Amino acid sequence: MGRYLRIELLALLMLAVMLGVSYLIKVKNDRMRKNLFSKEVEVFHSLTIETNASGVTSRLYTDYTVKEHEEIKMREITYIGKSARELKSKYGRSAGDLFYLDEDITLLQDNGYYYEADHAVYDKKNDLFSTTSPFVAYIYGGNIIHGVNLHYDITRRIAVAKNVDAVLFTK
């Protein structure tokens, strides 16, 4: 009788161990599944066109775009908007109307002004361009402006910057 009781206890103990191990495996698989499929959208070579009642308001070209966890990350960006004839960047991310841009940023305007920086933020709703790194501006045929922390209202054409070093040619 004592021998059967030990075998039953051993069988119950082995059953409990097997259930515990199978539960742990299931939990690990659920965690991996959540990590593997966190991307909501992944797009290569895309064109996004924004329109309103009067027509096309902007175009966004990207080489690669991914949306995961409410954040949109982009690579090789070209944005054409209201006053921005061409805004380019190697990398960026978008949050609402703001583009946070990194590496090789260039902004070409309709009036011929041209800006270069390594880090910038573009607010497409208010048409504001702000650098968070040193910048170079080329304006009015030959005029060159160097500085940091540029805040440029593209619509009103008002620029404010710090540590400005400029070469200006007058008539």
What's the token pair of residue 1?
Answer: 């009788």
Q: What is the pLDDT tens value at each position of the chain, 171 positions in all?
A: 555 567 778 788 888 888 777 767 655 555 555 555 566 788 888 888 888 888 888 888 999 998 877 788 999 999 888 777 899 999 999 888 888 999 999 998 877 788 999 999 998 888 899 998 999 999 877 888 999 999 988 888 888 999 888 887 776
Please list the alpha-helical segments (H only) found in the chain.
2-36
Q: For 100, how many CA atoms within 13 A lie in the half-sphere containing its CB?
A: 7
Q: Check residue 136 and give its pLDDT.
A: 93
Which CATH number is associated with domain 41-167? Answer: 2.60.450.10
Q: Check residue 140 and give its pLDDT.
A: 76
Q: Check residue 32 and give its pLDDT.
A: 56
What's the token pair of residue 18?
Answer: 């097997």
CA distances to 4, 8, 131 from 1, in Å: 5, 11, 84
Spatial separation of the C-alpha atoms in residues 108 and 93, rounded to whole Å: 20
Contact by Cβ (8 Å): 98, 78? no
Q: For 56, how many CA atoms within 13 A lie in the half-sphere containing its CB?
A: 9
Among candidate residues 104, 116, 111, the one with its CA nearest the CA of residue 147: 116
What is the residue whose two structure tokens read 């982009």?
A: 74
Rounded to two decimals, what is the model's pTM? 0.70
The residue ranges of every structural domain in the chain are 1-37, 41-167
What's the token pair of residue 2?
Answer: 């004592």
What's the token pair of residue 15?
Answer: 């059953």
Burial of 21 from C-beta contacts in 10 A (0-12 / 13-18 / 19+): exposed
Per this entry, what is the length of the chain?
171
C-alpha angle 56-90-159 in degrees, rounded to nearest 5: 70
Report the Cα–Cα distance between both ends of the chain, in Å, rounded: 113
